[in-house]
């Protein structure tokens, strides 16, 4: 795979596929981690005299312009981070994009409007996707893939476009792949994996693969209740995927046979009412119960103090840790203790620690932890998981072509 050092970019129009899919609240960016992550690649290209065209998706618009998913605010923040103005094109391949790109001087940068405002970006039809990729290719001379959070998608700007231009991987993708190899090919042991998040079905394939690689797997979050139910415990009104219980039982059995320690919560923070994550109103009926004593009318919303201590103990002697998925409803302070405990355990550890993107990366930032204390915070939760499942990532395959 070529890197940006292999490209002669001076005076060239360089199309950078970034992942600027940042969370917005009333038009305000609440976490700019993904913007900061791609900034070094853009800055390096600008320093070398490139005319940089940045493109990204944001949210899930339905193939047509939708103001709530505009990248306008992202252009402003990117300019602040780069320390130079970022011109903003109000479309992707239309008159505004063409005029904005044509006006770029060497060392200048523009951001195109949301790629997903065009149906061709995400189309399942190869011809429709290819036609949109041709329009994007007409804007540029070179392609740099640096949107790690999107490389598991077979989308026009990720998969089809690199075949139409000389291409290379950006600094962020180089870094992300290097980290993932440390979790799959060159693993220091003991190797501990912490999995959370809402649905066990989202993690089944990665658990399947990790049963042959990890030494310990710690499970929390909404997915834990399917495991607890599989062991015959009452889980009340907690998140539950009953159809996954046979698979979960099989994995628990395989873990025993493979010598993988599978650690489930021993106590749970519960409530009959899902917390208000915007106003943080107190949860009056909050209580902590043993994991096998969840009341029938209550929902598990975080791991309890005994589990937090147990997980910290299991992480203490790790040499490698991968964490993907929150352990509770961290957006509310009452149910953020599980995420806080795991984040702190990673910081206290001497291990190579990786926070696997998505909500777990958001939790680290929202809860105020110093990002530099972790070995790596990924920008792509879904992409990281699919890599760990052993899948071929379309965007990576395209860059290798």
- CATH number of the domain at 251, please: 3.40.50.1260
- The answer on whether 36 is annotated among ligand-binding residues is no
14 in the same domain as 155: yes
Q: Is 62 a catalytic residue?
A: no
Domains of the chain: total: 2
Q: Which domain holds residue 64?
A: 4-174
- The pLDDT score that the predictor gives to residue 199 is 87
357 is in an annotated binding site: yes
Active-site residue flag, 79: no
Residue 74: inside a domain, yes or no?
yes
pLDDT at 317: 96
| 161 and 191, same domain (yes or no) | no
Annotated catalytic residue within 34, 77, 298, 314: 34
Domain match, 42 and 60 both:
yes
Annotated binding residue at 233?
no
Whether cis (ω within 30° of 0) applies to the bond prior to 73 is: no
> Which whole-number Å values give the CA distances from 348 to 288, 325, 344, 374, in the listed order?
26, 19, 6, 10
The one catalytic residue in 36, 84, 154, 199 is 199
Residue 63 lies in a domain: yes
Task: Return the ∠ at Cα 279 (arms to 273 and 280), rounded to 5°.
Answer: 55
Q: Is 167 assigned to a binding site?
A: no
Q: Of the listed 220, 236, 382, 395, which one is catalytic?
A: 382
Same domain, residue pair 168 and 201: no
Q: Is residue 153 located within the same domain as residue 16?
A: yes
* 360 labelled binding-site residue: yes
pLDDT along the chain (401 residues), means of 10: 97 98 90 94 98 97 95 98 98 98 98 98 98 98 97 97 98 95 92 94 91 95 96 96 96 95 98 93 95 97 98 97 96 96 96 90 92 93 90 96 89
Residue 179 lies in a domain: no
213 has catalytic annotation: no
Task: Answer yes or no: is 395 within a domain.
Answer: no
The pLDDT assigned to 357 comes to: 72
Tell me which of 356, 358, 381, 395 is the catalytic residue.
Answer: 358
Contact in structure between 170 and 146 (CB atoms under 8 Å) = yes
Q: Are 400 and 377 in contact (CB under 8 A)?
A: no
Clarify whether 199 is annotated catalytic. Answer: yes
Same domain, 212 and 295: yes
Question: Is residue 92 situated within a structural domain?
Answer: yes
pLDDT given at position 102: 98
Structure tokens of 225?
């209740």
Per-residue confidence (pLDDT) for residue 312, from 0 to 100: 98
For 380, the token pair is 């792509």
């Amino acid at each position: 795979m070529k890197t940006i050092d292999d490209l002669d970019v001076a005076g060239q129009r360089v199309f950078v596929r970034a992942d600027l899919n940042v969370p917005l609240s009333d038009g305000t960016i609440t976490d700019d981690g993904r913007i900061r992550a791609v900034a070094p690649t853009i800055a390096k290209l600008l320093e070398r005299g490139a005319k940089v065209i940045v493109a990204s998706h944001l949210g899930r618009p339905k193939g047509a312009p939708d103001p709530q998913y505009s990248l306008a605010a992202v252009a402003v923040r990117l300019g602040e981070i780069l320390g130079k103005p970022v011109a903003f094109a109000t479309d992707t391949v239309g008159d505004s994009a063409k005029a904005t790109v044509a006006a770029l001087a060497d060392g200048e940068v523009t951001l195109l409007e949301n790629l997903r405002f065009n149906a061709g970006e995400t189309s399942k039809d190869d011809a429709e996707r290819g036609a949109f990729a041709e329009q994007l290719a007409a804007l540029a001379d070179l392609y740099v893939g640096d949107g790690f959070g999107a490389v598991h998608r077979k989308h026009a700007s990720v998969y089809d476009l690199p075949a139409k231009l000389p291409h290379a991987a950006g600094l962020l993708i180089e870094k992300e792949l290097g980290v993932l190899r440390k979790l799959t090919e060159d693993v220091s042991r003991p190797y501990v994996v912490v999995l959370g998040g809402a649905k066990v079905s989202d993690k089944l394939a990665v658990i399947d693969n990790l049963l042959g690689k990890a030494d310990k797997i710690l499970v929390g979050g909404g997915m834990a209740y399917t495991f607890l139910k599989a062991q015959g415990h009452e889980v009340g009104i907690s998140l539950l995927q009953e159809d996954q219980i046979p698979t979960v039982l099989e994995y628990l059995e395989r873990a025993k046979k493979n010598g993988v320690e599978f650690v489930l919560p021993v106590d749970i923070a519960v409530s009959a009412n899902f917390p208000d994550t915007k106003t943080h109103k107190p949860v009056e009926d909050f209580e902590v119960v043993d994991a096998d004593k969840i009341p029938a009318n209550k929902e598990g919303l975080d791991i309890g103090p005994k589990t937090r201590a147990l997980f910290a103990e299991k992480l203490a002697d790790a040499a490698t840790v991968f964490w993907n998925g929150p352990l509770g409803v961290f957006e509310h302070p009452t149910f953020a203790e599980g995420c806080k405990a795991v984040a702190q355990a990673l910081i206290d550890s001497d291990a190579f620690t990786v926070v696997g993107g998505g909500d777990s990366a958001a939790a680290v930032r929202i809860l105020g932890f110093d990002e530099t204390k972790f070995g790596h915070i990924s920008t792509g939760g879904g992409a990281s998981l699919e890599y760990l499942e052993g899948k071929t990532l379309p965007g990576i395959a395209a860059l290798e072509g």
